């Protein structure tokens, strides 16, 4: 069958060929929605190709973690959704004969920014950025793993069913934030549709169409702010009560998926009318409608049916260090693992709302070019970044500058998370660069994406870190 992304085909084939000849493969993947789906895609493809492997996960791949992987004495390590940013360390292990790396990633390769001919590289490195494809918006780690999975197909095997997980990964990495998946991702969507595992539709862009009762769907619609409805429990209720529709069933509010097309049309039109009448700008109103990605084989009305809700469920397992649970759900466990994942998501939502409440009460400290807060042990380091992102726009928290959040990781280490906006990125903000340079300046390390990035720094260096980061952001935005 044709390769999904022709530009990557040759490299993917080389990676696949090497994997087929490997004896002891360790699959190492990142712990988040994209990393978990990457691992599930790679694991399924390896299994179908009858290549024996074991799986390990890491939250942040650093020298110590890579050394730990080397101690497993693999002959080949398949890194998914990370590895590119750690090429320098990985290349050293390769040179020492520890293992042969195969990398399916979409993050910025270490050393590549310097354009240095001597920058570390490795033969089996599958990354869209090496082929002129945007790794932030057009292909995720799960997408790169999918490309590899297609190259790994033995005779008579069709891995296109894995496109559904690739889409969950891309959506989890916010690659559909403009309303739909683009570029290389679009090719993967097409393959999933052809394989009958994905369905696309143009629909209301609100999160929770599968699982949230209608009033909650509208109340929590934070992406598009509709005055008198968003973040307004009684407003959302009276809006729905005012529609000439029977929106309850057996005394319970129905969900969006329970409505028929006419009912959906009525609610959507009324929402648009409300937005127009309250002066919401036209481009924001356009954002009320987007492409949605449904997993055709999953039950209607479950988190797993919708790519966005599925990715949220996976992120909940990841943030509480239950990669095993997230992976099991991706691989098809609809019993204990799914129950556990749902419980983790409920706990996660409670932690988030408590975290946001704390930040808005305590407030942030403003520097010239950024704003920051230190949660110490009050917010878990695994969720402090989302809390920071969600707090932007709340009272006293500026939309016009990036937010940096600290939380204790251990006695010795502090986690730093930074969030920006797409508008700041258009003005030159690159938080991956900010977090990387500012953390290294204080003896830590970090990286990520332009709009969201993270780092780990030694405890006690926070003030110095803020100084460096503030200066770098100032340079970027000037």
Residue 140 or 210: which CB sits closer to Mn ion?
Answer: 140
Residue 62 or 199: which CB sits closer to Mn ion?
Answer: 62
- Among the listed ranges 39-47, 160-168, 171-179, 264-272, the one in contact with Mn ion (CB under 5 A) is 171-179
- Among the listed ranges 76-84, 187-195, 201-209, 438-446, the one in contact with Mn ion (CB under 5 A) is 76-84
Q: Binding to Mn ion (CB under 5 A): which residues in 5-34?
A: 34
Vertex 468, ends 378 and 410: CA angle to 5°?
Answer: 30
Taking the complex as a whole, how short is the minimal distance between the CB of residue 144 and Mn ion, in angstroms? 9
Total of residues contacting Mn ion (CB under 5 A): 5
Residue 327 or 364: which CB sits closer to Mn ion?
Answer: 327
Residue 128 or 444: which CB sits closer to Mn ion?
Answer: 128
Residue 38 or 230: which CB sits closer to Mn ion?
Answer: 38
- Among the listed ranges 136-144, 221-229, 425-433, 445-453, the one in contact with Mn ion (CB under 5 A) is 136-144
Residue 259 or 307: which CB sits closer to Mn ion?
Answer: 307
Q: How far apart, in whole angstroms, are the C-alpha atoms of residue 228 and residue 233?
A: 9
Taking the complex as a whole, how short is the minimal distance between the CB of residue 463 and Mn ion, in angstroms? 31
Residue 214 or 307: which CB sits closer to Mn ion?
Answer: 307
- Among the listed ranges 96-104, 169-177, 299-307, 431-439, the one in contact with Mn ion (CB under 5 A) is 169-177
Q: Which residue is nearest to Mn ion (CB)?
A: 34
Instruction: Report how far Cα 254 is from the mean position of its chain's Cα atoms.
Output: 29
Q: Which distant-in-sequence residues (6+ apart) come within 8 Å of 343 by Cβ?
A: none
Taking the complex as a whole, how short is the minimal distance between the CB of residue 174 and Mn ion, in angstroms? 10
Q: How far apart, in whole angstroms, are the C-alpha atoms of residue 244 and residue 22?
A: 64
Residue 81 or 306: which CB sits closer to Mn ion?
Answer: 81
Q: Binding to Mn ion (CB under 5 A): which residues in 343-372?
A: none
Residue 22 or 314: which CB sits closer to Mn ion?
Answer: 314
Taking the complex as a whole, how short is the minimal distance between the CB of residue 454 and Mn ion, in angstroms? 13
Taking the complex as a whole, how short is the minimal distance between the CB of residue 424 and Mn ion, in angstroms? 21
- 81 forms part of the interface with Mn ion (CB under 5 A): yes
Q: Taking the alpha carbons of 295, 207, 213, 387 in that order, is the dihedral positive or negative?
A: positive
Taking the complex as a whole, how short is the minimal distance between the CB of residue 69 and Mn ion, in angstroms? 19
- Among the listed ranges 139-147, 155-163, 270-278, 380-388, the one in contact with Mn ion (CB under 5 A) is 139-147
Residue 140 or 200: which CB sits closer to Mn ion?
Answer: 140
Plot region of 183 (φ>0 → left; ψ -120 to 50 → alpha; else → beta)? left
Task: Please write down the HEC assignment for all residues of the chain.
Answer: CCCCCHHHHHHHHHHHHHHHHCCCEEEEEECCHHHHHHHHHHHHHHHHCCCCEEEEEECCCCHHHHHHHHCCCCCEEEEECCCHHHHHHHHHHHHCCCCEEEEECCCCCCCHHHCCCCCCCCCEEECHHHHCCCCCCCCCHHHHHHHHHHHCCCCCCCHHHHHHHHHHHHHHCCCCCCCCCCCHHHHHHHHHHHCCCEEEEEEECCCCCCCCEHHHHHHCCCCCCCCCCCCCHHHHHHHHHCCCCCCEECCEECEHHHCCHHHHHHHHHHHHHHHHHCCCCHHHHHCCEEEEEEECCCCCCCHHHEHHHHHHHHHHHHHCCCHHHHHHHHCCCCCHHHHHHHHHHHHHHHHHHHHHHHHHHHCCEECCCCEEEECCCCCCCCCHHHHHHHHCCCCCCCCCCCEEEEEECCCCEEEEEEECCHHHHHCCCCHHHHHHHHHHHCCCEEEECCCEEEEEEECCCHHHHHHHHHHHHHHHHC
Taking the complex as a whole, how short is the minimal distance between the CB of residue 4 and Mn ion, in angstroms? 18
Taking the complex as a whole, how short is the minimal distance between the CB of residue 105 and Mn ion, in angstroms? 8
Taking the complex as a whole, how short is the minimal distance between the CB of residue 81 and Mn ion, in angstroms? 5
- Which residue, 472, 465, 471, is CA-closest to 374? 465
- 141 forms part of the interface with Mn ion (CB under 5 A): yes
- 173 forms part of the interface with Mn ion (CB under 5 A): yes
- Among the listed ranges 168-176, 303-311, 331-339, 356-364, the one in contact with Mn ion (CB under 5 A) is 168-176
Residue 38 or 210: which CB sits closer to Mn ion?
Answer: 38
Taking the complex as a whole, how short is the minimal distance between the CB of residue 421 and Mn ion, in angstroms? 20
- Among the listed ranges 41-49, 166-174, 332-340, 426-434, the one in contact with Mn ion (CB under 5 A) is 166-174
Taking the complex as a whole, how short is the minimal distance between the CB of residue 135 and Mn ion, in angstroms? 8
Residue 112 or 394: which CB sits closer to Mn ion?
Answer: 112
Taking the complex as a whole, how short is the minimal distance between the CB of residue 286 and Mn ion, in angstroms? 27
Applying CB under 5 A, the residues found at the interface with Mn ion are 34, 81, 140-141, 173
């Amino acid at each position: 069958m044709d390769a999904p992304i022709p530009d990557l085909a040759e490299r993917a084939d080389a990676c696949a060929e090497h994997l087929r000849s490997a004896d002891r493969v360790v699959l190492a993947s990142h712990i988040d929605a994209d990393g978990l789906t990457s691992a599930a895609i790679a694991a399924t493809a390896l299994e179908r190709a009858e290549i024996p492997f074991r799986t390990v996960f890491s939250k942040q791949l650093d020298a110590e973690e890579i050394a730990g992987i080397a101690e497993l004495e693999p002959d080949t390590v398949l890194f998914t959704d990370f590895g590119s940013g750690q090429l320098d360390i990985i290349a050293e292990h390769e040179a020492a004969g520890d293992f042969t790396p195969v990398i399916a990633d979409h993050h910025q390769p270490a050393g590549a920014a310097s354009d240095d001919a001597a920058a570390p590289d490795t033969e089996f490195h599958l990354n869209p950025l090496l082929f002129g494809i945007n790794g932030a918006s057009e292909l995720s780690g799960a997408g790169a793993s999918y490309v590899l999975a297609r190259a790994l197909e033995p005779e008579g095997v069709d891995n296109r069913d894995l496109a559904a997980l690739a889409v969950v990964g891309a959506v989890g990495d916010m690659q559909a934030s403009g309303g739909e998946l683009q570029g290389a991702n679009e090719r993967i969507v097409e393959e999933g549709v052809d394989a009958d595992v994905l369905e696309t539709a143009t629909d209301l862009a609100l999160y929770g169409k599968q699982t949230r009762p209608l009033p909650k769907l509208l109340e929590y619609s934070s992406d598009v702010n509709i005055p008198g409805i968003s973040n307004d429990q009684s407003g959302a209720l009276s809006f729905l009560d005012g529609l000439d529709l029977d929106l309850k069933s057996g005394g319970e509010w129905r969900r969006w998926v329970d409505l028929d097309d006419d009912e959906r049309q009525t609610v959507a039109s009324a929402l648009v009318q409300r937005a127009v009448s309250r002066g919401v700008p036209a481009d924001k109103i356009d954002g009320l409608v987007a492409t949605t990605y449904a997993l055709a084989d999953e039950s209607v009305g479950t988190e797993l049916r919708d790519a966005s809700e599925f990715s949220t469920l996976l992120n909940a397992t990841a943030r509480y260090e239950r990669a095993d649970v997230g992976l099991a759900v991706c691989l098809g466990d609809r019993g204990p693992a799914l129950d556990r994942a749902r419980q983790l998501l409920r706990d996660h939502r409670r932690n988030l709302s408590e975290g946001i409440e704390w930040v808005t009460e305590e407030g942030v400290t403003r520097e010239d070019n950024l704003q920051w807060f230190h949660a110490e042990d009050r917010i878990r380091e695994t969720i402090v970044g989302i809390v920071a992102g969600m707090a932007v726009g709340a009272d006293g928290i500026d939309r016009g500058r990036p937010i940096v959040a600290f939380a204790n990781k251990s006695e010795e280490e502090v986690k730093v998370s930074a969030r920006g906006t797409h508008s700041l990125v258009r003005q030159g903000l690159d938080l991956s660069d900010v977090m990387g340079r500012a953390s290294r300046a204080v003896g830590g390390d970090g990286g990520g994406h332009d709009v969201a990035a993270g780092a780990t720094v030694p405890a006690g260096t926070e003030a110095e870190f803020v100084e460096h980061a503030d200066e770098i952001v100032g340079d970027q935005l000037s």
